[in-house]
Each structure stands twice: as structure tokens, then as C-alpha cells.
Structure 1
Amino acid sequence: MAPETETDATAADDRAAISFGTDGWRATLEEFTSPRVRMVAQAIATTLREEGKTAPVVVGYDARETSRGFAEEVSRVLCANGFDVLLSDRDRPTPLCAHAVVDRNLSAAVVITASHNPPSYNGIKFIPDDGAPALPPVMDAIADSLAVPDPLLEAEHGSVREVDFVDAHAEACLEVVRSVTGGLDPEDALEGLPIAYDAMHGSGRGTTDALLERVGASVERLRCTRDPEFGGGSPEPSAENLEELVEAVANGESALGIANDGDADRVAVVTPDRGLLDENLFFAALYDFLLESNDGPAIRTVSTTFLIDRIAEAHGESVHEVPVGFKWVAEAMADHDAFVGGEESGGFTVRGHVREKDGVLMGLLAAVVHAAEPIDDRVDRLLETHGDVTQGKISVACPDDEKAAVLAALEDEIPDAVAGTPVVTVNTADGFKLTLEDGSWVLVRPSGTEPVLRVYAEAERDERVQDLLEAGEELLEPLV
């Protein structure tokens, strides 16, 4: 065998550095380099060709300093492999790219984004031709095809055309809202409603706010200018990052606050009484509202509240529980013809729309829900009817290469009771979820993005949640 050349060695190192997670590959800019991005693009092109795909490919990107350049690198590799490329005219939300794939009957979308991560990160996400998150077999095929770009003859190259995806997606959102609400027109529901929108300097600016304004809402814009550094923080819609939005709603300037994360596939909602609304409670309010004029089951992840189940039962509907990760929500929505699907981290979609989480659509739907009945009032009523729920989450340090062994050891240590209450069911779809006799639960699962194990808990009171989290941590301590 011929000795490995320096070029071969470098390519091997680059392949080894690329690790696909939940939504593709995400890494710091020290690791996320142009040669590696080109290898991923080549792998996508190879996989699409092997599947017989010939239609154009969407290439989108977020607001980071490096994203447009990486998107152009991806476009060149795809073109050199014979694919025409529809390149987003500017940074736009990931769900617009997913919608464009289905709307235009394209081969796939590739989006350069690190979502809510700090500006020192970037990433590359692959969306197949059904517009839903790629399932593991697809990502495994791409991982197996990582290679230095191998261009076709120039005569066989594709072309690049810049496209604005906003209007088509906006029209789809309006049609979906009419469909899931029994014909309600957002323009009638939202006329004059004062809404504060925080883009966090991300890709939702000029998209979510424009859609709300289009239907007649009065929009106060916060951080709706592009800042590749996101104001010096991360575009994560957490309580500490949304203080100005919370204040805009609390002081009465706006009736409702809406925010998106960096690539606007997730939504956060701020109400006058609760401030930043727990995403579990938003899911509950959304599902309850939609069931007033339509029907169908819900899909939720194992870490999402049982309140969804109680609402479904009251309406004669069912709920299907899936592992954490929107790809599993999307798959189950297709399998069960579900009406709504969501997760406690703020990702949701509804029947009739692309099976990808969409923070733009959900911003519009949140406003429609609130216009029908103040979300705080609806949540109060739901909790009074179905019982209070509160959640908590902690992290326990655990190296990635030890997670499997710890969880395997935990299987032999499942207790008969947690925090003094008997265990009635054990769900192993994603780690270990122990449901207790009083309806509370504790979940232990590996993080897909950090070297930690997550411990989640839900109960009726904060004190009870803390007891369950401590019990979960004590369960793990001897094993980590």
C-alpha cells in the first residue's frame, strides 16, 4: 500500500473532527473550518445523487459573521456536483428553508446555523425533501460519505440563484392558521394588538415582526438589527436574556411579547402576569385553544409536561410520547396524523405545515391564542381544572464517552420509590423516566450537545420538584 500523503492525513483529520449531533454538525469556529464544511457539502451531494435526487437544493444561513461565506462554500460544492442552488438572499429563519423545500418540491436544504449557541460557534444543518428533520439513517449516510470535494466536469456544473423565501412562507403561515382555527382570519383577530417582538439580533428580524405587522398588529421591535455578535451574548431566549421584552409587557406598553432564538425555529412568549411563559404552559394553552375548533392527537417529548395529556383526555384525544429531539416529534406527527407537536425547549409545529419546528408560525399563533383569550387567563383556567404543574432541570457532569456506561449501570439501580413515592412506570425511550404514584415524574437522560446528564422533574409544587431533582442527582452520584 502506498504511504499516506500529507493531504490524505489532513483529510482524515478533518473527517475525524466532524461529528453529527441532533441537527447536523455544530462546533466552535476553531473546529468549524472551510475545508470541513466543504467535506460535509460533498457528502450531502454524494448522498443526494445516490438517492436519485436531481432537483435544486436550498442553501440558507443565519446572522453570524461567517455564515454567508460558509453558505457560499456549500453552494459552490453543490454546483460542482451538478446541483442548482437556491441561495437565500440574506440570513433568514431555518423554517423558511424547510418550507421552501416542500413548497418548491426540491431535493433538500442546507442551512448554516448554530441556532442559539454563542457567536464563536457555527453549524451546518441538513433538511431532506420532506422538510422534516433528518433521521439517523440519513445523517449516518452523510457521515459515511465525508470526502474532499470531487467536482464534475465544468459543463455539468449547476448554477446559483439568490431567492427571497419570505412571502411564500408568510402565505403558508396565514393559511395554516386559518386551517387549524376553523377559518379564523388573523387579520381580523390581531388588528391593533400591541405586540413587542425581540429578534435577539437573529434571523427572525424582518420575518416574524413583518408577519405580525402584515396582519395588523402594532409591533414594537427590540433588537431587530443585525449584530453578528448578538449583543455580546447568545441568541438564547432565556429569562436573563429577555429582560427588556419582559419589561415592555409588564409596563403595559405591549399586550404580549414574542421572541425567537438565533435561527428563529423556536419561540418564546412573554405575558403580563407570568413574564417569560414556561414553554410547557404555552404548549398547553396552544393545544387547548386549537381543540376549540379542531381535533387530533398531540406529540410531546419525554421531558414535556403531562398537562398536555390531561388536556387531551378532557377532549377525548390521545398523546404520543417520544424521545427528546424534534426529529422524533416530526416522525410521530406523520405516523399518527397528529394535530400538534412540541417540546419543552420551545419547538412546535401543527398539522398542515412543514414538520419542522417553526418559531415564525408560532409567533403568529401565540398572538392569535392571546387575542382569543389572554394567555394568562387560559393558563389559570387550565391549571385550576387539571392541577398545577411545575418543572425543573439540573445537569450532572459526565464525559460523553462514559454516558452509555452510566445509563447501563443505572438500569440495575432503578429504585422502587423516589423521594418517598412509589414508582409506577419506567419509560426507557430516552434515558430513564420514572413516573410516580402521585403523577409526578423524574427523567434522567444524556445531553446530546454537552458532556452532562440531564435530570428533569415535574410535580405540582416547586418544593416537590426540588426533592425529585435531588433524588435523581443522588441516584447518579455513585455511577458517574
Structure 2
Amino acid sequence: MSVKEIPTKPFDGQKPGTSGSTLVIGGDGRFYSPEVVQIILKIASANGVSKLIIGKDGILSTPAASNIIRKFNANGGILLTASHNPGGPNADFGIKYNVENGGPAPESITEKIFAKTKIISSYKVIEAPPVEISKLGDTVYGPLKVSVIDSVKDYLELLETIFDFGLIKSFLTSHKSDFKILFDGLHGVTGPYAKAIFLKTLGLPESSVQHCEPSPDFGGGHPDPNLTYARSLVEVVERDNIPFGAASDGDGDRNMIYGAGAFVTPSDSVAIIADWAEAIPYFKKGGIKGLARSMPTSAAIDLVAKAKGLEYFEVPTESFGTGSDHIREKDGLWAVVAWLNIIAAANEQEKSGKLWGIREILNSHYAKYGRSFFSRYDYEEVPSEGAQKLVDRLNELIKSSSFSGKLYTSSGTGTTFAVANAYNFDYTDPIDKSVSKNQGQVVTFSDGSRVVWRLSGTGSQGATVRMYVERYVAPGAGEKELSRNTGEGLSALIDVALEISNLKIFLGREEPTVITVSAIGLSPSARVVG
């Protein structure tokens, strides 16, 4: 086989996000993924890579890929997914790079990749026919060894070492008439994984899953597991009064937990998983080494950490996800099975005969720890110039000596908030000492309320601005206050946040693209702006 050198030139916009390229190959099966797998094979073979491990048909969820990297001691992985820094004709293709620990590449690595894109003048490929990646087994491709593996097998084996599948199956079997579940794959990569977990391992009927066939265009939908884009789940759960529903995103690292009349925010979800950790064999055996949350999300997990005497951290990365140290990625299906394990354990402990589901676990948690009323407003594809002006205004306020102590009054409720502190969040990793700067603008108020703004994805296709608002209510406030509508609990703070940032003026938007809230007992239409 001959090696061909192809001239090229640097071009703009190629700075990687938090992931990128090496020896384990897979992705969400979206636009151009099969073709790119073949390109990677040609480049890898021509450039001295010794072995590629490829998910069958080029399919691997992000958590499954992280597990494969760790299990087989690979040097890293190329994940083909539009979840980060999307390109392609319809923002439907992207590349992430994970390093040898299975986690996303740190900025020190992505900056080096970015530097190479500025000076590249050619690249090598091997001239050979495509590799058959729909058939399991080993082959060679020039000097390169290629292993095509089952995309699901190793990940399922990992989950079976973590959770009490026997307890979950026993609970679901004994309550098959009054506790049904529904998982929506949103035509993303997790469909085959969900079928293996829910249908084969737990023995549930086919009706327990929907949209579990991966599709290059996600069935024409949007694979974000939130109340706007996962309407296909919400509508069926509400219509059929299903106690437990869940969804995952296109590449499998995020999740949504939703039962009839009750939605769980990621911040509440991770706090509840931490509180119930001893019900999960993995944590009962090995304990919890520490807890962490992303800076923008609510501090619900902090309260659990303090109560249990655990170390906890505030870190910069976020995207509606949950995970643990079983891999070095967020893991959507891990969180879904964790909730089923917790529900099964709660019902095993319950002596009154009352069936516990999502609502009961949420109410019990709020009664014990209080509730962080929390909402995230996503403004997608807004003008980059306006988004930058918003950030510039916030940074000016942060620097202003007169901002601290300033009073803002809600035009809707008349409630007044006093600014206590404002800062731009920077993070220093306690392990490798790497520094992540400008992770978001934060304003705190004297009553403990907090608002965070984050800008991402600036470029020719626009930007995304996310605004997070949080107000804490202590458990002593009583059930009525703790179970209030999230919109009621946050309306005054949202008014003030919009006034401080001039968001509507800068972005030219009256409403966000998506609103994510924590809510109990509301109709779905009360929670979403589409």
C-alpha cells in the first residue's frame, strides 16, 4: 500500500473544545461519521498509529468510549459527535478528543492542537479500500491493527459492577402493574444501550423504550434531554401517568429524569444520588471520595456534602450531566440506572406499603435539606456581537466599586435584592494546577440568591448565552413553601437578573429558547418555552 501526502493549509475556527483525537474511535452516528471513520483509518495507518479500537458501525456513546479507553489502556480516543463545537452544513458534525485517562483533553492539549491547525501544510493518508466496520473482529490495514468491537458489551458489564440489578429487577417485576418506566433515546446513540439494559437485562417489555434506533439526523428532532426537546417523552409520560421516565442525549453523556408531574433538575439529581449513595453497591463498597458540581448549577449537593462530612468542589464544566469516578465523563445512562436503584432501595425500606417514586424522593429530600429553587435560561443562536456586549457590561459592573450593595427591585413583585458580591469565575485544578479563566459572571445577593451568566459558542453561526438563577429555601419553611411553583419562587430574581444584564436589549430576545426548571405537580406547558 502506498502513502499519499495531501497538500492543505491552515484555516480559521479549528480550536477544539474539551475533547479531540487518538486510538479509540466511535461516535453518535450522525452526519458524516462513517466517512470520517474511514478518513481516520487512512491517516492513522499512514502516520504510524499501531492500533485502532472502533465501535461497530462507528458507534460508541461518549461514556462507553471513556470506559473502553480505560479498560484497554488506550492512549486516548476520537469521538465523533456534534455535542461540542458543532460544524457541518447544519451544525451536525463535531470531533472531541479524550486522553488516556478516558476524560476530555485539558486545555493544555487542545491549545497545542489549535496551534498545529495554524501551521499545517500537508497530511498523510494510506491509499487502500475502506475497512468493513459493521463486522466484529480484528483485521490489519497496512501496518495498522484494527479491532471492531461490540459497542454495548463492555459498558453493560461496567454498569453491572456498579448497580444492584437484582434489586431493581425484583422491584420492577413486583410492581409491573403500578410502576412502569419509559426511556426515550431521542434517536441518539444510547438506543442500543437502553435496549440491552432495560429489555434484556431487566426484562422489561418493548413498550418501556421509544426512539431507540440511532439516526444520522436524530429522527428529525433535537437530541437534548430537556423539557423542550424531549417533548416526545414528556407527552407520553403525562398521558399514560408513567411514574418513571428518562431520556439521554445524542452521544449519551447527559440525561433527564422525569415522572408524571415531577421533573428532576441535574443539580437535584446529583444531590439525591449522593444522599442515597449507600444504596448503590459501588459506593457502599468503595465509599465516596468527594462531591463536585459545576459552578453555574445550584448548591444542592453542597448541603449533602456538609451533612455527611464530605469534601466538595465547585468546577467550571457543565452541561446538564451527572457522573462519578467509574469513568472520566458524564454518563447519562449511569444516572438513569442510579435513580432506578435508589427507587428500588427506597421501596425496600418503606414499611408502610406506600409506593415511592420520583415525587416522594424529591419531597423527602427537600424536607431534609431544603430546596434550591433553580432555573436555567438558554438563549441559543443569538448575535455574537450582542452576546459579547452583554458580557462586557457584566464585567464592567464587576469592576465597579459602586455595584456591591446596590439595590434592585423586581418590577413584577416589588421584591428588593441587595448585591453582595460579583466576580468572574476562575478555576485552578487541584490536581494538575491547570487554570480555567473566565468561566462565567456571577452576582450574589444578601439573601443568598445567585445569578450566573455564561457565554459559549461564539462564531459566524451565533452564540449561546445561558443564565442561571437560584434561591434557597430552608427545610423549616414548611411543605407549602418548599413545593411552590418554581416560576413563583424565582420570578422576582429573574426580573432583577434581566435588568442587571440588559439581556433582552443586547440579545434582541423576549424569551429564551429553552427554560430548564425544577418542578413538582405542574402541567408540562407551565415549564417550557419553545
Which TM-score tier does this pair reach, normalised by the shorter chain?
Answer: 0.7 to 0.9
Paired letter, 1:422: A
In structure 2, the residue corresponding to 1:434 is in which secondary structure? strand
2:309 corresponds to which residue?
Answer: 316
Contact map agreement 1:418 1:436 (CA 8 A) in 2: no
Cα distance 1:281–1:348, how it changes in 2: closer, same or farther (>3 A)?
Answer: same
Residues 371-450 of structure 1: matches in 2 within 5 Å? 371-373=344-346, 374-394=357-377, 395=379, 398-399=384-385, 405-413=392-400, 414-417=403-406, 419=408, 420-429=416-425, 430-448=439-457
Tell me which residue corresponds to 2:490.
465
Aligned pair 1:455/2:467, yes or no? yes
1:318, distance to aligned residue in structure 2 (A)? 3.6
Aligned with 1:444: secondary structure?
Answer: strand
Aligned length, in residue pairs: 416
Contact 2:167 2:341 in 1 (8 A): no
Deviation at 1:259?
0.9
8 Å Cα contact 1:60-1:87 kept in structure 2: yes
Query: 1: CA distance between counterparts of 2:308 and 2:193?
Result: 34
Instruction: After superposition, give the CA deviation of every residue in 1:374-426 in whole Å (9 maximum; x if it has no partner).
Output: 22111111222333332233448553766764454232244424543334444
Letter in 2 for 1:297: G
Name the structure with the higher helix share. 1
Paired AA for residue 466 in structure 2 = R
Contact map agreement 1:201 1:231 (CA 8 A) in 2: yes
**Structure 2: runs of 5 or more not aligned:** 1-5, 129-140, 347-356, 409-415, 426-438, 473-485, 507-530
Preserved CA contact (<8 Å) 2:45 2:144: yes
Aligned residue type for 2:163: V
Corresponding residue for residue 97 of structure 2: 126
* Counterpart residue number, 2:9: 11
* 2:483 corresponds to: none
Contact 1:173 1:361 in 2 (8 A): yes
Q: CA 1:216–1:291 in 2, change beyond 3 Å: closer, same or farther?
A: closer
In structure 2, C-alpha distance between the alignment counterparts of 1:361 and 1:273, rounded to whole Å: 23
Shift of residue 128, structure 1, vs aligned partner = 0.4
3-state SS in 2 of match to 1:389: strand
Amino acid at match of 1:79: S
CA contact (8 A) 1:264 1:358 kept: yes
Q: CA deviation at 1:444?
A: 2.3
- 1:127 offset after TM fit, Å? 0.6
Matches within 5 A, 1:240-389: 240-252=228-240, 254-274=242-262, 276-290=263-277, 293=284, 294-323=287-316, 325=317, 343=318, 345-351=319-325, 353-373=326-346, 374-389=357-372
Conserved? CA contact 1:98–1:131, under 8 Å: yes
Question: What is the one-letter code of the residue matched to 2:54?
Answer: L
Alpha-carbon contact 2:152-2:192 (below 8 Å) kept: no
Say if 2:25 and 2:37, in contact at 8 Å, map to a contact too.
Answer: yes
Mark the CA change 1:410 to 1:369 in structure 2 (over 3 Å): closer, same or farther: same
Per mean C-alpha deviation after superposition, the further-off stretch among 470-479 and 427-436 is 470-479
**Partners in 2 of 1:427 and 1:435 — Cα distance?**
9
How far apart in 2 are the matches of 1:360 and 1:156?
Answer: 37
For residue 108 of structure 1, report the CA deviation from its aligned partner.
Answer: 0.8
Equivalent residue, structure 2, for 1:78: 44
Shift of 1:295: 4.1
Residue 76 of structure 2 is aligned to residue 108 of structure 1 = yes
Task: Provide the TM-score with structure 2 as the length reference.
Answer: 0.70
| Residue 210 (structure 1) aligned with residue 196 (structure 2) | yes
Question: TM-score scaled by structure 1?
Answer: 0.77
User: What does 1:57-68 correspond to in 2, within 5 Å?
Assistant: 57-68=23-34
Residue 11 of structure 1 aligns to a residue whose secondary structure is coil
**Structure 1 residue runs without a partner (length 5+):** 1-6, 25-43, 46-56, 326-342
Once structures 1 and 2 are overlaid, which stretch shifts more, 198-207 or 417-426?
Answer: 417-426
| CA deviations over 1:139-175 (Å, ceiling 9, x no partner) | 1111222333235899973133311132111111121
Alpha-carbon contact 1:22-1:448 (below 8 Å) kept: no
CA contact 2:373–2:490 (8 Å) conserved in 1: yes
- What residue is the counterpart of 2:123 in the other structure? 149
Q: Distance in 2 between matches of 1:256 and 1:443?
A: 31
Q: Which amino acid aligns with 1:110?
A: I
Match of 2:132 in 1: none
Please tell me the root mean square deviation across aligned C-alpha atoms, in Å.
Answer: 3.1
Judge conservation of contact 1:443–1:455 (CA < 8 Å) in 2: yes
Q: Which amino acid aligns with 2:39?
A: E
Q: Tell me the CA shift for residue 123 of structure 1.
A: 0.2
Query: Counterpart in 2 of 1:171?
Result: 157
Check the 8 A contact 1:260/1:266 in 2, yes or no. Answer: yes
Question: What is the percentage of aligned positions where both structures have the same residue?
Answer: 24
Q: Deviations over 1:22-78 (max 9, x none)?
A: 445xxxxxxxxxxxxxxxxxxx56xxxxxxxxxxx1110212242111122122211
| Residues 216 and 151 of structure 1, relative CA distance in 2, 3 Å threshold | closer
What are the Cα deviations for residues 168-224 of structure 1, in whole angstroms up to 9, with x where unaligned?
A: 11111121235xxxx985544554563211111111111123113343252522112
Task: Quote how far apart the aligned CAs of 1:272 are.
Answer: 2.2
